[in-house]
Structure 1
Amino acid sequence: MSREKATSRDRNPKGKTVEETVNRYLEKKLEAGGSRATMKPVLDDFADFCKSEGIEYVGQIDSGDCREYGLRLKTKKANGEIAGSTANTYFAYVRAFLSFCVRDELLDTNPAQTERAEEFLPEDKSTGETQFWEPEQRKRLLEYADERVRMAREETIDVPLERAYRDRTIVILLAELGLRGAELFRDRNDDARKGLRWDDVDLERGRIEVYGKSREYEPVGLTEAAHDALSRFERVQDPPTDEWPLFPTDHAASKYKAVENATGDRPEPGSDIDSILREREIIPPSITKEAGRQILKQLTDEAGIEVDGDTNYLQPHGARRALGAELYEKGHSELAQKALRHESIETTHKAYSDIQAENVADSIDEVRD
């Protein structure tokens, strides 16, 4: 143990524990709804981190601990679990919590507000540098998703037909509607995000409802391609109930757990768990955001699509960026705002400030010609 750590741990542990202070911050300081639900899993994770480091009381936290937490976030980013911008957002949540602790006189200064504390944080790329699907990449991925369904039908590829249709539907919904991954898939850190279900889909009216960033259900109109993909997928999957997830998990243990939670009995190993779920109309969990990213990684690789930058696959959010860029470049900024469900046109302008700058430069050249 370093001298610094020994000094930190040997402080008189007066005050509140990290865990109870996190709970107090969430319950008393933050308004109910979005902020609390968004920050809770991050701060709970920070409390677990402190426990693993032998930190029980808030007064024991120093800049070295925040530095180690930053390294933990950097590792998650390197493993593809979170983006660099997400890592910085999580650290900002912790920094805000520790500022609250200073105001509560549990700390003299904020240990996260130092250069040392932020040393290991991954680079937070600006929005303009965020990946988006290039037109040729988008076209190739959609073509391959179609091709994969055909090969599954012909049994020339070792992929179940329902899975091929599932993956094709995921690609089309991302490419056509600009949905967020958190709107399609389950978020293990947010109980409200259970993944898209068939009762969220209204093919007759040509719309779906997603649990948006606003933490309210938002209607999204279906393009012709998205409507066709959902119609075909519904016929293939044949969901036994409207509450059935569009994209059920492939994780066998999670399916067994779902049956056990619903009936009190765990099926015997080797049981046809999918048939049991369907026959008893027991709802399996949806695939997670992480699983959704793995699907995109697999498809990107199988389709032979080259991707520049830190990631080697077409990320779900890149489809959303691409849709907005396509509409914005063609002069349809208000349509881009509506398609991406931004609260204001200013948000859309800010997201595509790079395109706006290029358009201004082109306009200047036209005036001067």
Structure 2
Amino acid sequence: MTSNNQTRNSRDRNPKGQTVEDTVERYLEKKLEAGGSRATMKPVLEDFAAFCESRGVDSVADLDSGDCRTFGEWLNDRRRDGEIAGSTANTYFAYVRAFLSFCVRDELLDTNPAQTERAEEFLPEDTGSAETQFWEPDQRDRLLEYADERVRMARDEVIDVPLERAYRDRTIVVLLAELGLRGAELFRDRNDADREGLQWEDIDLERGRLEVFGKSRDREPVGLTEAAHDALSRLERVQEPPTDEWPLFPTDHAASKYDAVETATGERPEPGSDIDAICREKRVAPPSITKEAGRQILKQLTEEAGIDVDGDAEYLQPHGARRALGAELYEKGHSELAQQALRHESIETTHKAYSDIQAENVAESIDEVRE
């Protein structure tokens, strides 16, 4: 029979104040076999640790089913963005559930907060396949044309859209279409403290490149095409960012700007103040727009441009531009360029992503040989 002293000693060896990040590191290092399992689970669990940090959950013992529920909702957002399949979202959640079971066995938690109906409520249906929307060439061209047209209308003041916002939205479309960036690399993620959205310090127009916080959770360089370079140059001239920390795509949410000024200065501006002017005067960078706001912008532009979209999606989604860029390069025989443009870790990942195109090319080659 275990004594109270023995129980206390066990608790002392595994203090409940241990952080999620440290526990994830120990789990990956000590528990998992080196190789496949560790390499597969590592980015997912690191994402979970970053998610916990963004919610102010430092200690494993502070985790509850509500946190796991919100993590499931975040995974569903990624599925909705076309970044992962429903089956992948469920697999990632299972990785977190397994990690938290380890925490229970390690006496850092009394029960597993991921093993509840509440925690799993927002997980997507396991459909087995990812959203494969592509921006068709005519859809992409129309969206780019309309983004240009909208800038002209804003300049002529024939629409009720500030010129800076029109340039902001145009730049979003161009960067997605030209560079195949992920929505999480462009915009702020409220559930990931490391993803604050692109800032001007990430842009190097002289060298023709930008840096994003990639899927690998490392800084990754991305070269600028001529169209992307031109769009960023124009946005910079119109926006005139007062600091390098200024976001490329500032939020329109006034309350968030008031909060940013109060956090930076200790004083909250009077209601009704010109909050944009105050941010510039005090050199306080407003937050970037969120991924959700980015989706709404694309939804609005798709509708206003009169673009018909097939399938379940009601608008041209961010990930559809990425898939279209990869498909365009892959179809033309530039598989390695597609890998580099999409920043896949290996050419096998690229081949797998475009296996349908590869199959069509093989069939065409067989026909050519038989001729």
C-alpha separation in 2, matches of 1:119 and 1:198: 38
- Residue 204 of structure 1, CA deviation: 1.4
Deviations 1:91-121 (A, max 9, x none): 22333224525765899x999899xx98995
- Residue 253 of structure 1, CA deviation: 1.1
* 8 Å CA contact 1:25, 1:97 repeated in 2: no
Q: Counterpart of 1:312 in 2: which secondary structure?
A: coil
C-alpha separation in 2, matches of 1:201 and 1:257: 26
Letter in 1 for 2:205: L
Q: Counterpart of 1:171 in 2: which secondary structure?
A: helix
* 8 Å CA contact 2:79, 2:85 repeated in 1: no
- Residue 310 of structure 1, CA deviation: 2.2
Inter-CA distance 351–36: structure 2 relative to 1 (3 Å threshold)? same
- Residue 161 of structure 1, CA deviation: 0.5
Match of 1:29 among 24, 27, 30: 27
- Residue 313 of structure 1, CA deviation: 1.1
C-alpha separation in 1, matches of 2:293 and 2:165: 13
The equivalent residue for 1:140 is 142
C-alpha separation in 2, matches of 1:301 and 1:221: 30
Inter-CA distance 111–312: structure 2 relative to 1 (3 Å threshold)? same
C-alpha separation in 1, matches of 2:338 and 2:212: 18
Match of 1:246 among 245, 248, 268: 248
How do 1:119-268 residues align onto structure 2 when only pairs under 5 Å count?
Answer: 122-124=124-126, 130-268=132-270
Moved more, 213-222 or 349-358: 213-222
The equivalent residue for 2:292 is 290
Percent identity reads 74
TM-score in terms of structure 1 length? 0.79
Q: Counterpart of 2:220 in 1: which secondary structure?
A: strand
Q: What are structure 1's unaligned runs of at least 5 residues?
A: 1-14, 54-65
Letter in 2 for 1:338: Q
Deviations 1:182-221 (A, max 9, x none): 1111111222211111111111111111111222222111
The equivalent residue for 1:59 is none
C-alpha separation in 2, matches of 1:126 and 1:239: 44
The equivalent residue for 2:344 is 342
Inter-CA distance 245–128: structure 2 relative to 1 (3 Å threshold)? closer
C-alpha separation in 1, matches of 2:66 and 2:249: 35
The equivalent residue for 1:40 is 49
Deviations 1:227-261 (A, max 9, x none): 11111111111111222111111111111111111
C-alpha separation in 2, matches of 1:294 and 1:341: 26
* 8 Å CA contact 2:188, 2:195 repeated in 1: yes
* 8 Å CA contact 2:44, 2:92 repeated in 1: no
Match of 1:331 among 308, 328, 333: 333
C-alpha separation in 2, matches of 1:77 and 1:211: 18
TM-score in terms of structure 2 length? 0.79
* 8 Å CA contact 1:128, 1:353 repeated in 2: no
- Residue 122 of structure 1, CA deviation: 3.0
Q: Counterpart of 2:49 in 1: which secondary structure?
A: helix
Letter in 2 for 1:240: P
* 8 Å CA contact 1:128, 1:351 repeated in 2: no
Deviations 1:322-355 (A, max 9, x none): 0000000000001101111111111111111111
Letter in 1 for 2:297: I
The equivalent residue for 2:4 is none
* 8 Å CA contact 1:43, 1:93 repeated in 2: no
Letter in 1 for 2:232: L
C-alpha separation in 2, matches of 1:125 and 1:18: 38
Letter in 1 for 2:198: L
Letter in 2 for 1:40: A
The equivalent residue for 2:32 is none
Inter-CA distance 23–314: structure 2 relative to 1 (3 Å threshold)? same
C-alpha separation in 2, matches of 1:42 and 1:191: 7
Inter-CA distance 175–276: structure 2 relative to 1 (3 Å threshold)? same
C-alpha separation in 1, matches of 2:113 and 2:368: 53
Q: Counterpart of 1:324 in 2: which secondary structure?
A: helix
* 8 Å CA contact 1:128, 1:354 repeated in 2: no
* 8 Å CA contact 2:208, 2:224 repeated in 1: yes
The equivalent residue for 1:363 is 365
Q: CA RMSD in A?
A: 3.8
Moved more, 318-327 or 94-103: 94-103
- Residue 177 of structure 1, CA deviation: 0.4
Matched, 1:301 2:298: no
Moved more, 39-48 or 302-311: 39-48
Deviations 1:278-326 (A, max 9, x none): 0111111111111111111111111111222222111111111100000
- Residue 131 of structure 1, CA deviation: 1.4
* 8 Å CA contact 2:180, 2:322 repeated in 1: yes
